[in-house]
Amino acid sequence: MNHVWSVDPRTGGPVEVVARETAPDEVAELCDRALEAAPLLEAMGRQGRAGLLQCLADALERRREDIVALADRETALGTVRLDGELTRTGYQLRLFAEVLDEGSYLEAAIDHAGATPMGPRPDLRRMLVPIGPVAVFGASNFPLAFSVPGGDTAAALAAGCPVVVKAHHSHPGTSQLVFEVLVDAARAAGAPEGTLSLVHGLEAGAALVAHPAIRAVGFTGSLSGGKALVDIIERRPDPIPFFGELSSLNPLVVTPRAAEERAAEIAEGIVGSFTMGAGQFCTKPGLVLVPGGRSGDALLGEMAARVRDLDAQWLLNEGIAASYARGTERLITTPGVDVLARGRAADKAGFQAVPLLLATSAAGLPEEVMEECFGPVTVVARYADEAQLLAALRRTPSSLTATVLRGDGETELPARVARLCRQRAGRFLFDGYPTGVAVSWAQHHGGPWPSTNSQHTSVGTTAIRRFLRPVTWQNAPGELLPDELRDDFLGVPRRVDGTLRLAQERPAAATA
């Protein structure tokens, strides 16, 4: 069995063995344990699981220093960013505890028996239940927030689904450490054995997705990686839901008025956004549409000056570094694409990348600039007029985000851009930058293919819907119903005979 090495991106060298690849029969055993844990985790109830999530958050925070230090050594993302990421991870675990307390996510509905134009209707009661054990694939670029303790894991555990995580090979030591912290905390909180498991290795990941106990897959990664998993799923006797967050170009539009009014501020914002975390965000703006003419020129000048002033940055791993080298070479050699500015050359060891600002014309937008290139590069496409701008946007693939930067109080052009982009993006931003995805109730992090499978989010409270499925009880005796579907239960919002009722609302009779 192969060893799993921890690698330091700042040197490019392996540091130590932190685990070994999980054998297929071990994967099977972990999946079976997850299946056994499922009814017990569900039986903890909403309150029990809310408590569990809070314990997990507390445990991570108690080990903050160790976790951040190891994650920094394995990712070179820097301790400030990783400290913030751990805070985010704790926050999202606690937010899902609130989701459980609030209870709307159950979509509880009761239709009492009665007459209808189609004849008598039986008593029907519907709510969402856990889908079963979930496989979560950790992402390279968020060792804490989209990995072992990340958004998918938090959402799945909240839903009542045991989780088997496939560790990303880019931070196996961090994965192993936070896994151990979480498992200890889960045990102390009374969660069943098998609530959370971890596997290492490509083959283990394939075995995981193929295992009959696994009922859904959460994945954040490349389009090719996602497609490989979909192929495995389609070969199962029982295909299961796959929730992939895959590839996103994130077009950003600067209107002529915005360029005129605030070039320096916008240049700072865009350069900050596409080089943040060494450009390794799924929401990185990869295509920036800038007007032609003098104001556009000034904006480009400001952007170029800032890029030239940037140091080379460390990428997460050898594969991403090689792919950045290939991708930028391909862009640079594309006819019609010019290099506008380069950051300072790499002078240190490891997986370094030089930030890069490229320029092309919106009129003849080459196919090559329509693909996501992970790393600190963006392409500016100049447009001559609105028709050219909208035609270019129509050619962009669907994305997680689309952005428009407006002039003060400007609405007409932004409205037309928004209308067009709403067809091909999950989040539409005004006067902001797409990197940085707040975890909240109204967030959506998803979009039509290739960004995701379009109907669900992987960030924010509604991410829980991915790991639930509806069940309807017909004519069930009260004592065999889940609490939330009994007549006298008032603790969650419910739809009763078609009317939505808030929690705690007392029936009229009780007040009298």
Site for a copy of itself in 166-225 (CB under 8 A): 215
Q: Closest separation between CB of residue 233 and a copy of itself, Å?
A: 10
429 binds a copy of itself (CB under 8 A): yes
104 binds a copy of itself (CB under 8 A): yes
User: Are 245 and 458 within 8 A, CB to CB?
Assistant: yes
Short-list 211, 215, 206, CA closest to 243: 215
User: Which residue's CB is nearer to a copy of itself, number 17 or number 471?
Assistant: 471
For residue 401, the one-letter residue type is T
User: Which residue's CB is nearer to a copy of itself, number 333 or number 499?
Assistant: 499
What is the distance between the alpha carbons of residues 79 and 420, in angstroms, rounded to a whole number? 39
Residue 373: active-site member: no
Q: Judged by CB under 8 A, which stretch of 13-21, 153-161, 286-294, 490-498 contacts a copy of itself?
A: 490-498
User: Which residue's CB is nearer to a copy of itself, number 352 or number 462?
Assistant: 462
Q: Judged by CB under 8 A, which stretch of 294-302, 354-362, 386-394, 492-500 contacts a copy of itself?
A: 492-500
Residue spans of beta strands (DSSP E) within 1-150: 3-8, 13-20, 109-111, 114-116, 119-121, 124-130, 134-137
* Binding letters toward a copy of itself, positions 431-470, x by CB under 8 A: xx-----xxxxxxx-x-xxx--xxxxx--x-x-----xxx
Q: Closest separation between CB of residue 150 and a copy of itself, Å?
A: 14
Short-list 399, 481, 480, 391, CA closest to 445: 399
Annotated catalytic residue within 161, 282, 373, 421: 282
What is the distance between the alpha carbons of residues 385 and 244, in angstroms, rounded to a whole number? 36
Would you state the structure tokens that stand for residue 373, as one six-digit string?
A: 């290139």
Matching residue, tokens 């192929």: 231
98 binds a copy of itself (CB under 8 A): yes
78 binds a copy of itself (CB under 8 A): no
Q: Judged by CB under 8 A, which stretch of 74-82, 158-166, 238-246, 247-255 contacts a copy of itself?
A: 238-246
Q: Judged by CB under 8 A, which stretch of 47-55, 96-104, 178-186, 328-336 contacts a copy of itself?
A: 96-104
Question: Which pairing describes strands 13-20 and 3-8: parallel, antiparallel, or unpaired?
Answer: antiparallel
In eight-state DSSP terms, residue 193 is T
* Residues 47-76 contacting a copy of itself, CB under 8 A: none
Q: Closest separation between CB of residue 476 and a copy of itself, Å?
A: 5
User: Which residue's CB is nearer to a copy of itself, number 43 or number 305?
Assistant: 43
Q: Closest separation between CB of residue 226 and a copy of itself, Å?
A: 10
Annotated catalytic residue within 42, 245, 368, 410: 245
The single residue among 23, 206, 230, 363 that binds a copy of itself, judged by CB under 8 A, is 230
* Residues 362-391 contacting a copy of itself, CB under 8 A: none
User: Which residue's CB is nearer to a copy of itself, number 47 or number 474?
Assistant: 474
The site that binds a copy of itself (CB under 8 A) totals a number of residues, namely 83
What is the distance between the alpha carbons of residues 75 and 427, in angstroms, rounded to a whole number? 28
336 binds a copy of itself (CB under 8 A): no
- What angle is formed at CA 464 by the lines to CA 190 and CA 211, rounded to 5 degrees? 75
User: Which residue's CB is nearer to a copy of itself, number 271 or number 492?
Assistant: 492
Would you state the structure tokens that stand for residue 84, as one six-digit string?
A: 């913030």
* Residues 388-417 contacting a copy of itself, CB under 8 A: 398, 411, 414-415
Which residues fall within 8 angstroms of residue 17, CB to CB, at 6 or more apart? 3, 4, 5, 6
Matching residue, tokens 């600039």: 369
* Residues 469-488 contacting a copy of itself, CB under 8 A: 469-477, 479-480
What is the distance between the alpha carbons of residues 462 and 444, in angstroms, rounded to a whole number? 8
Q: Closest separation between CB of residue 177 and a copy of itself, Å?
A: 22
Question: Which pairing describes strands 287-291 and 119-121: parallel, antiparallel, or unpaired?
Answer: unpaired
User: Which residue's CB is nearer to a copy of itself, number 2 or number 423?
Assistant: 423
Which residues fall within 8 angstroms of residue 377, CB to CB, at 6 or more apart? 274, 279, 286, 324, 327, 328, 331, 355, 356, 357, 358
* Residues 250-309 contacting a copy of itself, CB under 8 A: none
User: Which residue's CB is nearer to a copy of itself, number 79 or number 440?
Assistant: 440
User: Which residue's CB is nearer to a copy of itself, number 442 or number 510?
Assistant: 442
User: Are 486 and 478 within 8 A, CB to CB?
Assistant: yes
| DSSP H stretches of helix in 333-381 | none
What is the distance between the alpha carbons of residues 325 and 330, in angstroms, rounded to a whole number? 9
36 binds a copy of itself (CB under 8 A): no
SS3 assignment, position 33: helix
Short-list 372, 416, 413, 419, CA closest to 396: 372
User: Are 86 and 68 within 8 A, CB to CB?
Assistant: yes
* Binding letters toward a copy of itself, positions 127-166, x by CB under 8 A: --x-xx----------------------------------
Would you state the structure tokens that stand for residue 353, as one six-digit string?
A: 């990348």
Q: Which residues pair with 111 in a beta bridge?
A: 124
Q: Closest separation between CB of residue 484 and a copy of itself, Å?
A: 12
Catalytic site residues? 245, 282
